[in-house]
Amino acid sequence: MLSRRRLCAVAVSTVVLLIASQRIHRADLFLAMPPKPGSSPNTSSNSTAIQQAAALPGQPSLGEAQAEAQGPGHPRLVQTPATERCGCDKGCVQETDSSDWFRQHFDPRQLPVLNSTHILEPQALSWWLGLQSNADKQKLEEVMSQLFQVIPPPSLDLRPLPFRCHSCAVVGNSGNLRHSGHGKMIDSHTSVFRMNKAVTSGFEEDVGNRTTHHFLYPESAVDIVGGASLVLLPFKIRDLQWLTSALSTGTITMTYMRVKDRVKADKDKVLVVNPEFFKYCHDHWTERHGRYPSTGLVALIFALHTCDQVSLYGYGADKNGNWHHYWEENRFAGAFRKTGVHSAEYETQIIHRLAQEHKITLHT
């Protein structure tokens, strides 16, 4: 009789452990980003139960451990289209029922980040390969395989969660940021997106000093410090090869111009924009105005797909109508606007329409 009781006890313990492990796994998928400190998310009893189930005695949940290891705004989750409502009091950017215009442009099925197993749709691949010349004949599959031996495959969860409000500040490089005093407001967001050669040192009062995601390409590369994610916007196969090299051997020093042979960045946080997502921005948003969208426009659309609320800073001309970077004096102000590569006027129209449709908050 005693032996039977012991067997029953062992069996029950095994079942409990199996259930707990399943709960931990599910909690790890859903709890990758904690609510922003000081916010008032719409917390549900289900989310509380999941958090409690995930936490082992004396240890943080797996989701909390990931968030702690990577810092605020750096979850690594499963990539899926949004199906739930977020916890923001003022609504969620990915909701399409309030704007016919937004619904016509926003495609929730699009995946912003390239992963190791993704096979590019032929039409998107052809468009992407035609953006910039690439003399190297190495196959894309081989290049991707080598890249994902240096960086881990991403696992971003794009689903809004009812117990969090993930706010994002997308910070452009316009001279209109000078003397704006936006720094503290920018830093108050869950995530802060910056791009290209953006600097914060000496401009903290106007642009803040936090960065969680830094968008760049080889020709605009800078070292990524402070725990931010390097987000590569690739224009050609050579750009993927460069990223592999810049994070390992340092052998690539040229694309169509000389580039940094090495870049400082946390390999575990590196993301690569999906070329199909790049084409989606070109087809659905800029509607093929210009040869391809600007880095700033891609970063903004990326935010629409990965954030619950989006605020935009530092886009467009300054108060005198000049187009230049806030950290430099540009004698040729307006040159960017007339390059022909991007349609600054059309991108400006998109930004103002997004603000008009209450999908972003535009700060000028």
Q: What is the pLDDT of residue 349?
A: 96
Query: What is the identity of the amino acid at 76?
Result: R
346 labelled catalytic: no
256 labelled catalytic: no
Place of tokens 């300054």: 318
Q: What is the pLDDT of residue 342?
A: 82
Instruction: Tell me the DSSP string of 109-160.
Output: T---B--TT----HHHHHHHHTTS-------HHHHHHHHHHHSPPP------
Angle, to 10 degrees, between the axis of helix 140-150 and the axis of helix 237-246?
20
Give residue limits of the domains in the chain: 2-70, 100-363
Distance in angstroms (rounded) separating the CA atoms of residues 113 and 147:
14
Distance in angstroms (rounded) separating the CA atoms of residues 259 and 203:
26
Q: What is the pLDDT of residue 53?
A: 29
Residues of the chain with confidence (pLDDT) below 70: 1-83, 156, 317-322, 330-340
Set 217, 280, 292, 326: catalytic member: 292
Q: What's the pLDDT tens digit per position in 15-43?
A: 444 444 433 332 332 223 333 333 333 33
Q: Write down the CATH superfamily of domain 100-363.
A: Glycosyl transferase family 29 (3.90.1480.20)
Dihedral sign (CA 210, 215, 216, 220): negative
Set 105, 282, 325, 342: catalytic member: 342
Query: Model's pTM, two decimal places?
Result: 0.77
Distance in angstroms (rounded) separating the CA atoms of residues 161 and 251:
43
Residue 214: its H or E element: strand 213-216
* Residue spans of alpha helices (H) in the chain: 2-30, 45-54, 62-70, 100-105, 122-129, 140-150, 183-187, 204-207, 237-246, 275-280, 295-306, 344-356
Q: What is the pLDDT of residue 321?
A: 65
- Cβ atoms of 218 and 259 within 8 Å: the answer is yes
Q: What's the pLDDT tens digit per position in 157-169?
A: 777 788 899 999 9
Question: DSSP letter at 271?
Answer: E
- Cβ atoms of 134 and 173 within 8 Å: the answer is no
- Cβ atoms of 199 and 177 within 8 Å: the answer is no
Q: What is the pLDDT of residue 7?
A: 46
Please give the C-alpha separations between residue 16 and each of 13, 20, 25, in angstroms, as whole numbers: 5, 6, 14
- Determine whether 109 is exposed, middle or buried from the number of CB atoms within 10 Å of its CB (0-12, 13-18, 19+): exposed
The closest of 180, 181, 177 to 194, measured between CA atoms, is: 177
